[in-house]
Structures are given as structure tokens and as C-alpha cells.
Amino acid sequence: MTFRALLTDRDAAGKVSSAVTEIDDSRLPAGNVTVDIDWAGLNFKDGLCLTGGGGLVRAYPHVAGIDFAGTVRDSADDRYAAGDAVVLTGWRVGETQWGGFAERARVSADWLVPLPHGLSTRDAMVVGTAGLTAMLAISRLEAAGLAPDAGPVLVTGAAGGVGSIATALLAKLGYEVAALSGRPQHAEALTALGATSLVDRHAFLAEPDKPLESARWAAAIDNVGGQVLGKLLKQIRYGGAVASIGNAGGIELQTNVLPFILRGVSLLGIDSVLQPFPARIAAWQRLAQTLDLAAYGAMVREIGLEDLPQAAEQILAGEIRGRVLVNPR
């Protein structure tokens, strides 16, 4: 048996490139569940894995793709049987393990969750790692005291995958959402998702920097890191919190302690990769109940395996709007 996959390889000069390749089943990695993939998602990390960035992929040839949804083909684990619909996100699949940019994957049953009730496999990849992480961030902020009457919540990188789903989820949950984006051309789409105000990233960063700035936001979900995170921390209201998810704008963080010691601000780190099973199930259930998939539909684009190398460059350049779904067939 063979299947199609986007095989990523590195040549003697260190150049990383990918091509759609017919692969024999015998080359699938070790694992106790084999999944026929319906849909995979494109995430920022996939951009890195497909271009050799970030040192995430250690062994070549490689199949990237950090999340996918599909149907169990065969299983040696009691928790799953042939025909079950499943979702995988995280666990370094697509980085240190072969991932979802293929018609088939073999993984550990420990990494799967059953397809959440009410979602199709396509819906699950509209949500994907991006939506799961956005939901984890919102729940973490709420556990730290955030509630809809607390005031506006700033979402950075708002036109991207995590940012756009965070915007839609917060709005649906009754929060006032300020969407920070470097791309004014997507303002209308962000307003349609429920953003009540738009913050231009370039104007935001151009404002003079002070050790402590006007307290504007009850909380923030940050997908960008770098200068943006450093600045927004100084604008969080008394007792507020920031969920740090991403580094699309850089890994550095330059700030000072005043927001923490004078306003009691908290900086909460969010990781979706190693979340335990019960936390994943809870987040997926809340996502299935909360996200208006029909309203989010305008933010979704479908591509094939052969389109991925170009899409990888686009996501690293901050040019992707919303979510890109990969149909491997």
C-alpha cells in the first residue's frame, strides 16, 4: 500500500525543500494507530518546519503538519477502532514525528482525541491548533479573573489563525474585543468576527514608550511577542492578565517590572503542545459549543499538498488570513 505525502528533505548544502511523493506504508513511523487523514491545518510552526526554520525538524526526510483530523484505519489500542473519527494536535507531531501533510499518518493513541461531538473533521481543522490554543488562553484568563464586564480584551496578530479565532470566540462569549493588526485590509473581516475596535499595529508601536502607559485593556491574548508584547504589558489595567501564545513578531521581551508590581498584572504562558488529555477534551467541548463556524467560514481557504511550500512562505511573512486547510487527496 502506498499513500501521497509532502516529503520534506534537506540536501548536502543544507537547503530544505518539499515535494509530493508516493510513499510505501512500510515507511510510516512507529505507532499504534494509523489514521487516514481528511484534513490538516497550516500553522506558523508548519511554515518553520517546511523551510527548515527554528531547528524544529531534526531528521530528514520528514513529513510536516502539526495537526490533522481523519478516520482510524487500524488500531492496536483499545481506545480507538477502525472507523473512529479522531483529531491530533501537538505532541511534536510534524516536528520530531511525521505529521499531517499526507494521506496517512501513524501515531500514538495517547496523542489523539475523539472528534468532538457536533464537529466534522473539516470543522476540527478549521479550529485546529490555532483554535485550541485560543480557547486554552481564554479559559486561563478567565481562571485568573477575566469576565466580560471587565473591559476590552486586546488580541494581537488578529488577522492570523490564532488571533482571528480568539477574536471570534471572545466576541461570542460577550467580551469587548480590540483587534490589533498590521493589515488594515482585513479590518472589515475582523469586525464581522465581532471585533469592536481595531488597533493599527504600526501606530500602536509608534506611540512614545513610557515605563507605564494609560491602562486600556482588561486583558490581552498575544500571538506576536517581541515589541508588541513589551508595549501592551504597560497598558493592562489593574489586576489584568496577558496570555502569551506566540512569537510571530519575535522571541525577545523587553519590558519593566512596573506593570507587575504597581498594577498586579500577570503574564500567563500558554502551551498547547503538551496539554494533558482532560484539558484538551474540555477545550474542544467548549470550542464546539462556542465557535460560530458558519460566521468564521469567510476566514478559511483550502489548498492541496502541492500548494504547501508557497503557503509556508506566506505564513512566515504574515500574509495568511485566518485558517488555511490542507486537503491531502
Instruction: Return residues touching ligand NDP (CB under 6 A).
Output: 43-45, 129-130, 133, 157-163, 181-183, 201, 223-224, 228, 245-249, 270-273, 315, 318, 320
Q: State the Cα–Cα distance between residues 151 and 160, nearest whole angstrom.
A: 23
Give the β-pairing of 300-304 and 33-42. Answer: unpaired
Residue whose Cβ sits closest to ligand NDP: 160
Give strand ranges (E) for the chain: 2-10, 16-24, 33-42, 62-63, 67-75, 85-89, 104-107, 112-114, 153-156, 177-181, 197-200, 217-222, 236-244, 266-269, 300-304, 323-327
Half-sphere exposure of 99 (CA within 13 A, CB side): 32
- Which residues neighbour 317 within 8 Å (Cβ) at sequence distance 6 or greater? none
Strands in 197-200's sheet, in edge-to-edge order, are 197-200, 177-181, 153-156, 217-222, 236-244, 266-269
Of 150 and 299, nearer to ligand NDP (C-beta) is 299
Q: Could you tell me the smallest distance in angstroms from the CB atom of residue 183 to ligand NDP?
A: 4
Closest CA to 282 of 179, 84, 143, 167: 143
Of 168 and 248, nearer to ligand NDP (C-beta) is 248
Of 7 and 159, nearer to ligand NDP (C-beta) is 159
Of 76 and 298, nearer to ligand NDP (C-beta) is 298
Q: State the Cα–Cα distance between residues 198 and 176, nearest whole angstrom.
A: 11
How many Cβ atoms sit within 10 Å of the Cβ of residue 109? 16
Q: Could you tell me the smallest distance in angstroms from the CB atom of residue 108 to ligand NDP?
A: 19
Of 62 and 280, nearer to ligand NDP (C-beta) is 280
Q: Could you tell me the smallest distance in angstroms from the CB atom of residue 302 to ligand NDP?
A: 16
Q: State the Cα–Cα distance between residues 157 and 269, nearest whole angstrom.
A: 17
Q: Could you tell me the smallest distance in angstroms from the CB atom of residue 223 to ligand NDP?
A: 4
Of 18 and 223, nearer to ligand NDP (C-beta) is 223
Q: Could you tell me the smallest distance in angstroms from the CB atom of residue 28 to ligand NDP?
A: 25
Of 309 and 318, nearer to ligand NDP (C-beta) is 318
Residues shown for the chain: 329
Q: Could you tell me the smallest distance in angstroms from the CB atom of residue 175 to ligand NDP?
A: 18
Q: Could you tell me the smallest distance in angstroms from the CB atom of residue 37 to ligand NDP?
A: 19
DSSP per-residue codes, 90-147? -TTBTTTB--SSBSEEEE-GGGEEEPPTT--HHHHHHHHHHHHHHHHHHHHHHHTT--
Q: Could you tell me the smallest distance in angstroms from the CB atom of residue 2 to ligand NDP?
A: 31
Of 102 and 224, nearer to ligand NDP (C-beta) is 224
